[in-house]
Amino acid sequence: MSIMRVLMLCTKYPVEAKDSYMTSELAGALVTAGNRVQVVVTDWNAPYGAPSSTVQKDGVDIFVVAPRSVRWLGSFVEKISKWVFSSVFAWAQMRRLLRNQSFDILICFTPCVTVAAQLAWATKRFRTCNILFVLDFFPYHHHSIGLLPGGVVFAVARRLEEHLVRKFDMIGCMSGMNVEYLCSHYRLQHEQQVEVTPIWGLVTPPPPIDRASMRKKYGLPLNKKIAVFGGQMTQGRGVEEILSAAAMLKDKRPDLFFLLIGEGRLEHLVEGCISSGAHNVIFHRRIPRTDYLGLISACDLGLVCTVTGVDVPTFPYKTIDYLRANLPIVAAVEDTTDYGRFVREHGLGAALPAGDPAALANVIEQVIDDPGGAAAAARSCLDQVFDVRRTVARIENAFLGLAEHPTSVRHGLRPRQYDSGVVGCRRTRNTRG
């Protein structure tokens, strides 16, 4: 097929040589397939007001914009203004950079509100096939874990996100339950195509390591079993459950340690636990992805944990890294997600309901002592489900389907249905809010 010109809008795109994320891996795979990719990233973690910059990595043109915010009126105003002002500032910058260019495909990720101004301009300025990947359900998930209040704030956020979601021709969700949640909580347009698009990434094994040398480098015990959790130290990630399970096993299993890697609002809980005598808990702040893969390859088990009381289905991205490192997985997840069933059906480890640290401790013991055939299953699952090249093929199919109908999906024509996991769903009015 001909070269596709792709515009990607996002708020996370690592530009360091040793770092990567699903956005950068998708962009790189699109370039490897012979396409041109322009990324506009509002770097959510950059210092406020930092100058914009243009970078090229792996053949991808990247325009990096730092966030803006009002910081002297309290944390709530700072958070809300960051979402609004950052998008508006990035839109003004992007207009000057891209006004004389053209694109075939626009790719975006939820929450859409983080790039609202850029998205609104790009969908009017360019005649593109618009593709959305649903990585979380804003504002439902944020409200359920206490990061967003209810009432008027929630209602406005929901309306805005829904309005932006309706701008896309194709919407990819991580699993079947994610499709169901999207269709029951957002009013979609009838002609929008919704399909299962699993998370993606590079699936090659990391370079071989010497486990003893790697453990020594990061101050890990040389002759102990290690369960690792990698991710954000924030609400909704089950950090408290992991610490509770570690406390239960501290004396019972002196041969078992817990390693937590990441950054976030709950770092103080982990550090406080260690200071209080949890000698079987080790904490490392976030490190570049390449180094992270090497570090977890020196561990014995990967942990995925969420919390109870959340009705939003999830599918953690850390899964791919655990599988690349050949780690069996123990998943303590909410009942509203099909992630646990996925782990069991693919022979990747074990799953249990979230909210029971004692049960979590018990399952960790079982799996770390007898991982079964998880390592062999990991390789097969990576190739068959998570290979980023499969996502590139889905994007190409969506573009070809739109090209067959030049009047576009947004004018009422549905693209051809491909054998790529298209899922039909009943479009209903919101059942929440």
- Which tens digit of pLDDT belongs to each residue from 28-64? 999 999 999 999 999 988 888 899 999 999 999 999 9
Q: Round to whole Å and give the CA distance between 288 and 276.
A: 29
pLDDT one-digit tens code per residue, 327-368? 999 999 988 889 999 999 999 999 999 989 999 999 999 999
Q: CA-CA distance, 21 to 8, in Å (whole number)?
A: 14
Task: Pinpoint the residues of the chain covered by CATH 3.40.50.2000.
Answer: 5-201+387-411, 211-384
List the one residue out of 61, 174, 183, 191 whose CA is nearest residue 130: 191
CA distance 155 to 158: 5
Region of residue 357 (phi > 0: left; psi between -120 and 50: alpha; otherwise: beta): alpha
Query: What's the token pair of residue 363?
Result: 């399952």
Judge: domain 211-384, CATH 3.40.50.2000.
yes
What is the mean pLDDT, run by run of 10 residues, along the chain of 433 residues? Answer: 90 93 97 97 88 94 91 73 87 92 96 94 93 92 74 88 95 94 93 93 93 96 96 85 96 97 91 94 94 96 85 88 96 90 95 94 96 90 96 91 57 35 41 38
15: helix, strand or coil: coil
Superfamily of domain 5-201+387-411: Glycogen Phosphorylase B; (3.40.50.2000)
